[in-house]
A and B are shown apart, each in its own frame.
Chain A
Amino acid sequence: RKEVEQDPGPFNVPEGATVAFNCTYSNSASQSFFWYRQDCRKEPKLLMSVYSSGNEDGRFTAQLNRASQYISLLIRDSKLSDSATYLCVVNPFSGAGSYQLTFGKGTKLSVIP
């Protein structure tokens, strides 16, 4: 089983739609979680961190399910500018420790006019 797995997509959704991505991770000891966004031919950028209690940032909601070892990203009211690849990232550590961020291969989202 791969360490971090994502549905590669593409997800093609109309503007205004709600779309959700899931990501599963194999290391049950993973402690910290993130979503990065990568535009075509650009560098990845941090979209949001994912906390145990779940968190929201505008139209974006991230949730963590430790029992099932998955994290999710929900995008409401999709905009054309949301078109990108979304990378799921996990780390066995949340406190001070060695760096072990593992990136998923990403889920591609295309928002259609």
Chain B
Amino acid sequence: DAGVIQSPRHEVTEMGQEVTLRCKPISGHDYLFWYRQTMMRGLELLIYFNNNVPIDDSGMPEDRFSAKMPNASFSTLKIQPSEPRDSAVYFCASSLSQSGVWTSYNSPLHFGNGTRLTVT
């Protein structure tokens, strides 16, 4: 079975450039999450979607960050303009609710292998 697929694996860009990260969740999963991981702050939830609808974006650090999920099989996280402090590993994860209900114990997260972003 294909897991969560993220692209690119690595992205190096200059400050001020636009960066777009992509994610394909596991087929059939109805929840999608974007996380950022740094040494200083660990794993932080940025935003999550349920059935393609953004539910909570309170973790998005600022207006430079935006995320979309145009359909059940694709999501993007965009940073415009990028800054050096955005350098991190960005993970996408998907999860399957049980009969439309998400619960911690019954809906484990499946992470993609991440995008390592470096902004110089």
A residues near B (Cβ < 8 Å) are 31-32, 34, 42-46, 49, 87, 91, 93-99, 101, 103-106
Within 8 Å by CB of A32, from B42, B45, B56, B104, lies: B104
Pick 13 A–B contacts, CB within 8 A, sort by A. Answer: A32-B104, A32-B105, A34-B108, A43-B91, A46-B109, A94-B103, A94-B105, A95-B103, A96-B101, A98-B55, A98-B56, A99-B55, A103-B43
- Establish whether residues A43 and B113, one from each chain, have CB atoms under 8 Å apart when the complex forms: yes
Given A43-B113, A99-B102, 5 new contacts (CB under 8 A): A43-B114, A44-B91, A44-B109, A91-B104, A101-B104
Q: Looking at chain A's contact residues, is the secondary structure mostly helix, strand, loop, or mixed?
A: loop
Name the contact of B111 in the complex, choosing from A43, A95, A98, A105 (C-beta under 8 A).
A43
Check if B31 is an interface residue, CB within 8 A of chain A.
yes
Q: How far is the CA of A106 from the CA of B37 in the complex (A)?
A: 11
Quick one: given A43-B91, A45-B111, A46-B108, are A101 and B102 in contact (CB under 8 Å)?
Answer: no
With a 10 A CB-CB cut-off, give which of A32, A34, A105 has the most chain B CB atoms: A105
**Closest B residue to A50 using CB positions:** B105
Closest-CB distance, A36 to chain B (whole angstroms): 8
B107 nearest in chain A by CB position: A99
State the B residues within 8 Å of A (CB): 31, 33, 41-43, 45, 48, 55-56, 91, 101-105, 108-109, 111-114
B109 and A101 contact, CB distance less than 8 A: yes
Q: How far is the CA of A106 from the CA of B56 in the complex (A)?
A: 25
Known: A34-B104, A44-B111, A46-B109. A99 touches B42 (CB 8 A): no
Q: How far is A106 from B113 in the complex, measured between Cα atoms in Å?
A: 18
Residues on B with C-beta less than 8 A from A49 are: 104-105
Q: Are B56 and A101 in contact (CB under 8 A)?
A: no
Across the interface, do B42 and A104 meet the contact criterion of CB distance under 8 Å? Answer: yes
The residue that A103 contacts in the complex, of B42, B112, B113, B114, with Cβ under 8 A, is B42
A93's nearest neighbour on chain B, judged by CB, is: B104
